[in-house]
Structure 1
Amino acid sequence: MTVVRPYVGRIAGPAERTLLVVHGGPDWDHSYLLDPLREWTGERQVLLPDLRGCGRSPGGLPPDQYTPDAVVGDLLALLDDLPVGRVDLLGFSYGGLLAQRLALAAPERFRCLVVASSSVLPVPADAWDDWPERAERRAAEARVWAEGRLDGPELTRAAALAGAPANIWREAALPRYLEVLARVRFTAEWLGPFRAGLLPPARPDDAARRLAATGLPVRLLHGRQDMVFPAALAEEAARLIPGARAAILDDAGHMAHIDQPAAWLAALARQLA
């Protein structure tokens, strides 16, 4: 598998307090996670790589080069090139699944794993049966994917915009989220392998048991009203993994860092302390 040197967004701070952040999507970039992390300028070094084929990172690879394990290889090579020792690791949404794989591949490289707006456990098929509002809020995005009028980055962007009312819980936070989305460099390089059935699952098998066996501190950071990964799964994972802790933020959806930026950053700081 070819190693890709990703473009890396950086928030300046001491190298000994480095946080590596893995974004989701995957056909997004890191920029939607810059706020509120930017408030740590001077306090922590935050590294926010764009995944291969995403944002400003190299793309145009063969479809079989877009895999979770390929990303793990890229990120380990990135860490090898940096003058840092062990770092904290945060994965957001799909990036939370990738971060689990990364932590399992090289637990000695990390001080702590934070799984944010993601899940260690599989999402049950009936997870949303008692929440009709979720179907209502997600209907517009489902139509974008089903209509077939758009393709490529235009499709990825349109789906993100249509999904905004589902990913943001507080109506007052929606304008800010739309401003954030306007700056994202959407791509569609992972969409092709996904449609072709070439994209392997990102969530590691038996992740809770395997993460527990590493001894790596596991933290879970979640919005109570997340409509992608149920908050209850974060709480369950915290019970299953010895020493794990979950922070569940009320009045916050999938993009909990936008819904409740101050509370999200404070909870993350406590988890990394």
Structure 2
Amino acid sequence: MRLHVREFDGPADRALLVIHGGPDWDHSYLVEPLRRLAGEYRLLFPDLRGCGRSAAAEPLTPDAMVGDLVELIGASRVDVLGFSYGGLIAQRLAIQAPHLVRRLIVASSAVLPVPEDAFEGWEEYERRKAAHPSSWDTSPLEGAELTWAEAFAAAPLNVWRKESLPEYLRRLEQVTFTGSYLRPWREGRLPSAQYPDAAERLSGMPLFLLHGRYDMTFPASLVPLTPCTDAVVLDEAGHMAHIDQPEAWLAAVTRFLAAS
């Protein structure tokens, strides 16, 4: 299995593995502002199996993704930041290979299952959803073209501040989208990345939750219900909290890595 990995040099014993979301995205939209930690930390940004520039080898499953990351890490422990869907993969990695994960940051994701009525009664959510409907099931597009189109269509739901939208769209233009996981997802063959009893299984590991208050994918309401070492919910930030509030987001990451 060959993974595409972007690396920024830093001390070998202070590595931060960053796991992107999607799936069918790449790592590029997360490089800023994290690249500012280069030199102080060795930064590893892999494209997950079947994503970005990495090979789409079977099986295309969350456990296969975790297996790839275990091989990438090797024998030395790393800090792990998982974003969105990557936050679920990061939890699986920490549960299945706890000897490799020193500290875990779950960003714009959730440890607890998301309730079906999580956004019920939120008028702004309903307004944005109605203005930017999904076309996963109706679009004539397929594969990477469909992933690309859906990412752009959902952009106003993923950033909270109107001022952040141009920068987010610029980053989306740089993403190498794929369609590797579309068919298994549509056919119901893609296993859930949510680990059963993740909160209990992660007990004892330094766990930091980093969230935007107006996240329309993983609700911020789950943060205070989740056992963790520390948590920060950023105001005026949505799902892409690192784009809505880059300075505060990076400061929170830096503080957790330095303190624990």
Q: Quickly say closer, same or farther: Cα 1:141–1:52, change in 2 above 3 A.
A: farther
Report the TM-score when normalising by structure 2. Answer: 0.96
- Give the structure with the higher percent helix: 1
Shift of the alpha carbon at 1:144?
Answer: 2.5
1:44 to 29, 33, 41: 41
User: Do the aligned partners of 1:141 and 1:159 also contact (CA within 8 Å) in 2?
Assistant: no
Shift of the alpha carbon at 1:138?
Answer: 2.6
Shift of the alpha carbon at 1:21?
Answer: 0.7
- Secondary structure in 1 aligned to 2:82? strand
Shift of the alpha carbon at 1:140?
Answer: 5.1
1:220 to 172, 195, 209: 209
Tell me what 1:264 maps to: 249
Tell me what 1:69 maps to: 63
The count of residues paired between Structure 1 and Structure 2 equals 258
Shift of the alpha carbon at 1:265?
Answer: 0.3
Letter in structure 2 aligned against 1:37: L
**Could you tell me how far apart the structure 1 residues matched to 2:77 and 2:189 are?**
33
Letter in structure 2 aligned against 1:39: R
Shift of the alpha carbon at 1:120?
Answer: 0.2
Shift of the alpha carbon at 1:141?
Answer: 4.8
Q: Which runs of 5+ in 1 are unaligned?
A: none
Tell me what 1:136 maps to: 127
- Secondary structure in 1 aligned to 2:209? strand
- Secondary structure in 2 aligned to 1:101? helix
Matched, 1:254 2:239: yes
Tell me what 2:180 maps to: 189
Shift of the alpha carbon at 1:5?
Answer: 2.8
Shift of the alpha carbon at 1:227?
Answer: 0.4
Tell me what 2:148 maps to: 157
Shift of the alpha carbon at 1:123?
Answer: 0.7
Letter in structure 2 aligned against 1:247: V
Tell me what 2:12 maps to: 15
- Secondary structure in 1 aligned to 2:10? coil
Report the TM-score when normalising by structure 1. Answer: 0.91
Q: Percent identity?
A: 57
Give deviations 1:213-233, integer Å, cap 9, x for gaps.
xx2101100000100001111
Q: Which runs of 5+ in 2 are unaligned?
A: none
Give deviations 1:127-170, integer Å, cap 9, x for gaps.
11120211221335533224322111111011000111000000
- Secondary structure in 1 aligned to 2:29? helix
Tell me what 2:139 maps to: 148
Give deviations 1:151-195, integer Å, cap 9, x for gaps.
111110110001110000000011000000000000000111101
2:162 to 149, 166, 171: 171
2:72 to 44, 65, 78: 78
User: Do the aligned partners of 2:132 and 2:156 also contact (CA within 8 Å) in 1?
Assistant: no
Give the superposed CA RMSD. Answer: 1.2
Give deviations 1:98-147, integer Å, cap 9, x for gaps.
10000001111111011000000011111111202112213355332243
**Could you tell me how far apart the structure 1 residues matched to 2:136 and 2:185 are?**
13
